[in-house]
Chain A
Amino acid sequence: MAGPTISLPAPIFAKISPHPFLVRSLTRSTAADHPPCRANGRATQELRPVRFNATSLSHAHGSALVRLGDTTVLCGVRGELLPVERIPQFRPVDKEELRQQGENNNGNCGDAIGRGELRDYDLLVPNIELATGSAPQFLPGVPPTTLAQTLSTRVYSLLHSTGLVQAGDLKIWYSPKEQRRGEDVEMGGTGDKEDGDEEERPVAYWVLYIDLLFVSFDGNPFDVAWAAVVAALRDTRLPVARWDPDREVVVCSKTERRRLNVRGLPVACSAAVFMEKEQSEAGAGPREGGHWLLLDPDRLEETLCKEVITMVVDCSDDETRIKSLEKQGGTLLGRELIRGYAGIAERRWKEVRTAME
């Protein structure tokens, strides 16, 4: 070697030239029994272990703290009552329409209508905050970053498309007959028959405010945020509420709580494609240099990768159902790789289920 050799400690090397640093870690030929790994010590297909801690907030109706490596998200779900008279465009679901819809959708009864109610009345309100100090790039006192807005759109969209929570479970009904029967027992049969033909009707909805706070941020925000939302919703217990016809208000029980019915267990699994050649303009002609699919990328890796993939799967049933697929920012992941990626996502699903239960 001609010039003087400079040796730098790994963190400094990572800071001044992150891309070559990661390439070197991935291609380093160490002892035969020790395969090359990423800069963070993981193998390329290795995911960070995920840990759940449910009911960590005492004042929320449901909450969860999810930790994936150094990314920590706290999610709190709080239900608020929305009486139907305060909904400006309230349109009670027609029973006839419900039946028709059921026929059209071929057994998928009322799903579309339920989804419509959730969306029209904004019954699910996710909000994401990337706390100052959770990572160096988040500055205090700035408007919500593109990342926060994008994440909340994705969470919102997925909440509706997966049908995790159904409008039926958030509806509070008033059924005069049942209630009168209850009163009859209490008051000794002095019920009047004036409104005997009054129909059962919805009186209010629960609006679920789902707040996510990134306590610390080290890459892969969507997977963690989504896991936290699912865990917090599974943990949610809403008070039993009923309509008081005399005072015309909805009253909640102080002691009795009902677990929210959460359908399915969709789990997100993200990866990023790391190209060996930093300057390569992917595509045209024969591709030069290798690439690695880095599962569960951390913050350093995310800044160096352009192409990302996120797949949300649910293996609760026999067949693996894909709930969402997002691939953008590159052309390397083609059909075969995406097909193979479903297997990785299934593996992730099993891990998350085990951790959650």
Chain B
Amino acid sequence: MSNDRPLVLPGETIDLSLIPSHPKNPLRLGPGLRHIPPSDIVPTAAGELITNPVKNSMWVEYNSNRYIPSQNDIILAQILRSTSDFYLCSLAPHTPPATLPHLAFEGATKKTRPVLLPGQLVYARVSLANAHMDPELECVHASTGKADGLGPITGTGCIFDVSLGFARRLLMARPAQDGGLAVLEMLGGEEGGGMAFETAVGRNGRVWVGSASARTVVVVGRALQETDRGRLGVEGQRRLVKKLVREMS
């Protein structure tokens, strides 16, 4: 039972030999674990226990469908309504709305702030996530004052829901190499016939696909959702893309 990724259930005791002991770095606990003083480390979720001896960190890998905001996550939010100072946005269904200050946009002042209507999409960063308060968003980097690609989403497109794990893979710097996710590259490449589209992936399990052609939006969206649900490998993704392109043309 001592493989490198053992299954843990909430409340189980973790084998001491699994806990990394780095001489210098402090032990870092990731999601799914909690520390009960003085020296107990107990999992709180069912999943695989991952340890990293180099970084002296450990966490539990588990899947959840509910997005829980955490700081610096890039998310896709939908405006619910505007108050005098901020917009209220929804990150996931049935959760308390997140606040997005009117002035948290690039170069925004009282006069030049963007006017957003209910239903509009915003690509934003979680600037404050705290269990006791509603989350806060921003569309501008606080130190540089630059948007860095964040802001209201304009142009024609559509939003697609994917699982949280899938969204996280899409957000990797090189999803094709590191995450085994080549579907977007294929769609834009030769398999998809060089479709022109843009995407915005939110950590909260939402992907916005924009393109001038509605056909492209539908193909890209379906390709993403089917890859997610079918848990397709790279070869499966290639077949899926070819099939979708054939069907839609």
A and B touch in the complex (CB under 8 A): yes
Question: Which residues in B have their C-beta under 8 angstroms from that of A284?
Answer: 11, 36, 40, 42
Tell me, in angstroms, the Cα distance from A284 to B36 when the chains sit together.
8
* Residue on A nearest B39 in the bound complex, by CB: A285
User: For A283, what are the chain B residues with a Cβ–Cβ distance below 8 Å?
Assistant: 11
Q: How far is the CA of A285 from the CA of B36 in the complex (A)?
A: 7
Residue of B nearest to A281 (CB): B36
Min Cβ gap A277→B in Å is 13
Q: Complex: how many Å from CA A283 to CA B11?
A: 9
Q: How far is the CB of A288 from chain B (nearest CB, A)?
A: 9
Tell me the B1-35 residues at the A interface (CB within 8 Å): 11
B78-103 vs A, Cβ < 8 Å mask (1 yes, 0 no): 00000000000000000000000000
Interface of B (DSSP majority class): strand
B7 CB to closest chain A CB, in angstroms?
19
Interface residues on chain B, number (Cβ under 8 Å): 4
Q: Select the residue from B36, B40, B42 with max chain A CB neighbours within 10 A.
A: B36
A residues less than 8 Å from B42 (CB atoms) = 284-285
CA A42 – CA B36 in complex, angstroms? 35
Residues of chain A within 8 A (CB-CB) of B11 are: 283-284
Closest residue on chain B to residue A288 by CB atoms: B37
A338 to B40, CA, bound (A): 29
Chain A 31-76 interface residues, beta-carbon cutoff 8 Å to B: none
CA–CA, A284 and B39, complex, Å: 12
The interface residues of chain A lying within 8 Å CB-to-CB of B40 are: 284-285
CA–CA, A285 to B40, complex, Å? 7
Contact with B along A267-305 (1 / 0, CB 8 A): 000000000000000011100000000000000000000
Smallest beta-carbon distance B149→chain A, Å: 41
Tell me, in angstroms, the Cα distance from A285 to B42 when the chains sit together: 9
User: A285–B34 Cα gap in the complex (Å)?
Assistant: 12
What separation, in Å, do the CA atoms of A139 and B11 have in the docked complex? Answer: 41
Distance of A13 Cα from B42 Cα, bound (Å): 37
Chain B residues contacting A285 (CB-CB under 8 Å) are 36, 40, 42
Question: For chain B residues 181-225, which have a beta carbon within 8 Å of chain A?
Answer: none
Closest Cβ–Cβ distance, residue A300 to chain B (whole Å): 27
Min CB–CB distance A330 → chain B (angstroms)? 15
Closest to B11 in A: A284
Cα-based distance from A283 to B40 in the complex (angstroms): 12
Expressed in whole angstroms, the Cα–Cα distance for A285 and B12 within the complex equals: 11
**Minimum distance in angstroms from B34 CB to a CB of chain A:** 8
- Give the CA-CA distance A283 to B36 in the complex, in Å: 11
Q: How many Å from the CB of A327 to the closest CB on chain B?
A: 20
Those of A73-131 within 8 Å (CB) of chain B: none
Q: Using Cβ atoms and an 8 Å threshold, which residues of chain A touch B36?
A: 284-285
In chain A, what residue has the closest Cβ to B37? A285
Alpha-carbon gap, A283 to B42, bound state (A): 12
- Closest chain-B Cβ to A331's Cβ sits at a distance in Å of 11
Identify which of residues 21-77 in chain B touch chain A, using a CB-to-CB cut-off of 8 Å: 36, 40, 42
Q: Shortest CB–CB separation between residue B177 and chain A, in angstroms?
A: 41
Nearest chain B CB to A94 CB, angstrom units: 52
Distance in angstroms between the alpha carbons of A284 and B11 in the assembled complex: 7
CB-CB contacts below 8 Å: A222-248 with B: none
CB distance from A287 to the nearest CB of B (A): 11
> From residue A115, how far is it (CB to closest CB) to chain B in Å?
40
The distance from the CB of B13 to the nearest CB of chain A, in whole angstroms, is 10
Closest to B36 in A: A285
3 residue pairs, one from A and one from B, having the closest CB atoms: A285-B36, A285-B40, A284-B36
A interface vs B, CB < 8 Å?
283-285
5 additional contacts, CB 8 Å, given A284-B11, A284-B40, A285-B40?
A283-B11, A284-B36, A284-B42, A285-B36, A285-B42
Q: Can you show 8 pairs from A to B with CB atoms below 8 A apart? A: A283-B11, A284-B11, A284-B36, A284-B40, A284-B42, A285-B36, A285-B40, A285-B42
